[in-house]
């Protein structure tokens, strides 16, 4: 698994063999889903804990509030009058409210599409690859914009209230919320791309697609449809046929060359009689 925030050179996306997925393949598009459709109810919907600030940090924020003319006079007056303990409680709540608003806005508007570093994981094929009857696309990451690596943990994120309340917290810093998942999902080895609007179809360049891995249980018809689609659009895409290993719990992939029926007839490989 890639150990840092630089994406690997290749990433993978699994699909069931549906008509819509085949149409998207033909059109070179990826769909950015709303996080509300995800199968993990925690995904993109966690509420990070807010770290309790020290006395010195509370006073630092107090001074910031008193100097900041953007802060309403009512709030500044409260800031002058409250004790350090009272301010600490107020600041933690304010930072938490800010984060809650960001999470709500994201889930109402933004779109997400998910990739994996793994192409042969059995659970990925079972959950996302149509129970081994689907296919997995291999992409060259140099053709994509910024990708966010998903971090896995048994605990939810904890945010520092000081930069949030001092307006030093960038919007991009909130993205860590939307790339945090339970350790239960670590097998996915996930990377994510985000879009400003959910329900968007993104057209990727044909050369971004470098390979197709076919599930061991894919039907001959689906296999041929995919090969015909891609051979007419990108002659450099490699095809890899999956088979179930006979001695281990794993899927083996072997590169295959697809020849259409018409081409086979032209080459004399198939009799027309």
> Contact 105/113 with Cβ under 8 angstroms?
no
Q: Pairing between strand 209-214 and 135-140?
A: antiparallel
Complete DSSP assignment for 10-57: EEEEEE---HHHHHHHHTTEEEEB-GGG-S-TTTTT---EEPPPPHHH
What is the pLDDT, as a whole number, of residue 169? 75
Tell me how many degrees the CA angle 106-112-116 measures, rounded to the nearest 5.
140
User: What interhelical angle do 84-109 and 55-67 show, nearest 10?
Assistant: 70
Tens of pLDDT, residues 165-220: 887 777 677 788 899 999 999 999 999 999 999 999 999 999 999 999 999 999 99
The number of CA neighbours under 13 Å toward the Cβ of 89 is: 5
Per-residue CA distances from 4 to 1, 124, 181 (Å): 9, 22, 17
Question: Could you tell me which of 65, 79, 55 has the C-alpha nearest to residue 164?
Answer: 65
Provide the whole-model pTM: 0.85
168 phi/psi in degrees, rounded to 5: -110, 5
- % the chain with pLDDT above 90: 57
Mean pLDDT, the chain, whole residue set: 88
What is the pLDDT, as a whole number, of residue 4? 60
Tens of pLDDT, residues 214-255: 999 999 999 999 999 998 888 889 999 999 999 999 999 999
105 CB burial (10 A radius; 0-12, 13-18, 19+)? exposed
Work out the average pLDDT over 144-155. Answer: 90
Tens of pLDDT, residues 25-45: 999 999 999 988 888 888 888
- % the chain with pLDDT above 70: 92
């Amino acid at each position: 698994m890639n150990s840092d925030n630089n994406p690997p050179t290749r990433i993978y996306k699994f699909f069931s063999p549906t008509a819509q997925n085949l149409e998207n393949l033909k059109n070179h598009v990826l769909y950015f889903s709303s996080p509300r459709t995800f199968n993990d109810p925690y995904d993109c919907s966690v509420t990070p804990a807010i770290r309790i600030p020290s006395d010195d940090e509370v006073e630092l924020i107090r001074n910031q509030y008193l100097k900041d003319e953007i802060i309403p006079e009512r709030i500044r007056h409260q800031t002058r009058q409250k004790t350090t303990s009272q301010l600490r409680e107020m600041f933690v709540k304010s930072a938490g409210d800010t984060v809650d608003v960001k999470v709500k806005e994201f889930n109402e508007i933004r779109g997400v599409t998910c990739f994996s570093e793994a192409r042969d994981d059995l659970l990925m094929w079972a959950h996302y690859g149509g129970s081994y009857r689907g296919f997995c696309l291999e992409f060259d990451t140099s053709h994509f914009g910024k990708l966010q690596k998903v971090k896995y943990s048994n605990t939810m994120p904890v945010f520092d209230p000081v930069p949030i309340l001092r307006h030093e917290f960038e919007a991009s810093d909130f993205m860590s919320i939307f790339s945090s998942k339970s350790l239960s999902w670590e097998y996915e080895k996930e990377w994510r791309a985000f879009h400003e609007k959910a329900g968007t179809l993104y057209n990727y360049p044909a050369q971004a697609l470098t390979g197709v891995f076919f599930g061991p249980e894919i039907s001959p018809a689906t296999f041929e449809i995919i090969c015909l689609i891609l051979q007419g659009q990108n002659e450099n895409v490699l095809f890899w046929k999956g088979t179930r290993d006979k001695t281990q719990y794993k899927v083996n992939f072997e590169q295959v060359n697809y020849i259409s029926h018409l081409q086979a007839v032209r080459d004399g490989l198939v009799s027309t009689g």
